[in-house]
Amino acid sequence: STVQPTFPKGFLWGGATAANQLEGGYDQGGKGLSTSDMLTAGTHTTSRKITTALDPTLNYPSHEAIDYYHRYKEDIALFGEMGFNVFRMSIAWSRIFPNGDDLEPSEEGLLFYDQVFAELKKNNIEPLVTISHYEAPFALAQKYNGWSDRRVIDCYTRYCETLFTRYKDTVKYWLTFNEINILTLPFGTFLAGAMIPKGNGELVDTSQDDPQARYQALHHQFVASAKAVKLGHQINPDFKIGCMIAYMCSYPLTSNPEDVILAQQKDNLTNFLCSDVQVRGAYPGFAKRYFADQGIKLVMEPEDEQILKEGCVDYYTFSYYSSTCVSADPDQEQVGGNLSMGLKNPYLKASDWGWQIDPQGLRWSLNNIYNRYQIPLMLVENGLGAVDEVEANGSIHDDYRIEYLKQHVIAMQEAIADGVDLIGYTPWGCIDLVSAGTGEMKKRYGFIYVDKDNEGKGTLDRSRKDSFFWYQKVIESNGAVL
């Protein structure tokens, strides 16, 4: 190609995290219990469990996590050393509103994030804040069955108003909901919906799925997100408020037109339904057809259409880890993946957790998304969950992670050369943290190693992996040295 792929000047390079997966301090600083605090540890083969009361005999990984609550200064200094100019983090809603429906926020909670933002500023790092990342105050789950109840919209907008006002001059980039489209999948109910499912308590139990309640909850999140966008812009017109989608790249397994249609339908329903509402401000036609086919009847207030129309996001962000295939043939082999179960692709290798590795799928996805929306994109999660070995001298040679990231950076570069307006990259779990899917520590994504194991043992000491020094050079050269 005659076009030399490069990253634009001012490209945002950093890393991504979520409060419940790194902070710990789950009952400190006046924090209320959050839905994530009720989730036990699982493994690749055993599901995490949702408990409705804390059981002292069980292991709850979020309670201590990696103790960032007490070590954020050290961690942010390491991010600064790598050269981050952006850091994606979330705010724990129950630090600010312990019960979710409190009328006044907790000053102590707000102060904690004042200090975090001050530390980021000291290191010249721009915060990118997810307002709700897979957690809500547990009281909202108990009292209202989470987002299935419309009243939660008001709790959320009060929370947003508090954050937007307090951090008006500190935070510019916001995301309303992490991976909002997980509610298009049966197991999204508790993680994102804060609804307590009726199954056997396993996070992944989908046997009692209630699509009507699930899509109603999603509708409430759409309305809440749109209201937040409008409110945020009123408070500070310079705010950039975005959506966040778990982009599930799905190829047709064969050239059979049936497979091709199915892949497109999956792309529409699991990926584009949510972003069409959030970017364009209205439900797409295929959503209406799907609801009619499934007998789903959304309860909408007369003002909802207008609210959605007035609350379109400024930019589109997404996670991308892997791709899967789709087929009309029911006998094909299933594989795992980031939220998306799908079919095995004979051309791809998978991670130890069964997520197929596909950098070209990222280029394809970036083009696919940009073709549709033509607004700035940011890749706010990407990475390889892997087991790391610490050498006798303390070093960690994670060349597999470097290779994964390198290929994905190349894919981004290609997409930019294709004309995609990609403005930033924050790989997931830039410091090792608790896995959302399995609750493990062993599934590591970080450039920074944290000494803690699945049982919760370890010194919590931080150390730099080989990928730390690699990424430092990538940032320093703005993606020229890979």
Which CB, 145 or 340, lies closer to ligand BG6? 340
Q: Is residue 437 a contact residue for ligand BG6 (CB under 6 A)?
A: yes
The H helix count followed by the E strand count for the chain is 15, 14
Give catalytic residues, as residue numbers. Answer: 179, 381
Task: Evaluate whether 11 touches 413 at the Cβ level (below 8 Å).
Answer: no
Which CB, 18 or 140, lies closer to ligand BG6? 18
Task: Evaluate whether 467 touches 475 at the Cβ level (below 8 Å).
Answer: no
Strands 315-319 and 240-246: parallel
Q: Which of 428, 447, 468, 471 binds ligand BG6 (CB under 6 A)?
A: 428
Q: Is residue 398 a contact residue for ligand BG6 (CB under 6 A)?
A: no
Q: Which of 179, 276, 398, 432 binds ligand BG6 (CB under 6 A)?
A: 179
Task: Give the residue ranges of DSSP H helices in 127-246.
Answer: 138-144, 151-166, 188-191, 211-235
Least distance to ligand BG6, CB of residue 338, Å: 5
Which CB, 38 or 262, lies closer to ligand BG6? 38
Task: Evaluate whether 234 touches 310 at the Cβ level (below 8 Å).
Answer: no
Q: Is residue 351 a contact residue for ligand BG6 (CB under 6 A)?
A: no
Cα Rg for the chain, rounded, in angstroms? 21
How buried is 255 (Cβ within 10 angstroms: 0-12 exposed, 13-18 middle, 19+ buried)? exposed
Q: Is residue 385 a contact residue for ligand BG6 (CB under 6 A)?
A: yes
Least distance to ligand BG6, CB of residue 306, Å: 30
State the residue for tokens 């959030």.
278
* Separation in Å, CA 16 to CA 129, 375, 423: 10, 21, 15
Q: Is residue 178 a contact residue for ligand BG6 (CB under 6 A)?
A: yes
State the residue for tokens 């007369």.
302
Segment lying near ligand BG6 (by CB under 6 A), choices 155-163, 196-204, 306-314, 433-441: 433-441
Q: In what order do the strands lie in the sheet with 334-335?
A: 249-252, 323-326, 342-343, 334-335
Which CB, 242 or 437, lies closer to ligand BG6? 437
Which CB, 141 or 253, lies closer to ligand BG6? 141
- Residues 35-94 touching ligand BG6, rule: CB under 6 A, are none
Size of the site for ligand BG6 (CB under 6 A): 17
Nearest residue to 61 (alpha-carbon basis) of 43, 39, 46: 39
Q: Which of 50, 131, 136, 246 binds ligand BG6 (CB under 6 A)?
A: 246
- Residues 113-142 touching ligand BG6, rule: CB under 6 A, are 134
Task: Evaluate whether 105 touches 96 at the Cβ level (below 8 Å).
Answer: yes
Q: Which of 12, 18, 19, 223 binds ligand BG6 (CB under 6 A)?
A: 18
Q: Is residue 388 a contact residue for ligand BG6 (CB under 6 A)?
A: no
Segment lying near ligand BG6 (by CB under 6 A), choices 47-55, 159-167, 212-220, 429-437: 429-437
Which CB, 20 or 216, lies closer to ligand BG6? 20
How buried is 104 (Cβ within 10 angstroms: 0-12 exposed, 13-18 middle, 19+ buried)? exposed
Sites of contact with ligand BG6 (CB under 6 A):
18, 21, 134, 178-179, 246, 319, 338-339, 381, 385, 428, 435-438, 443
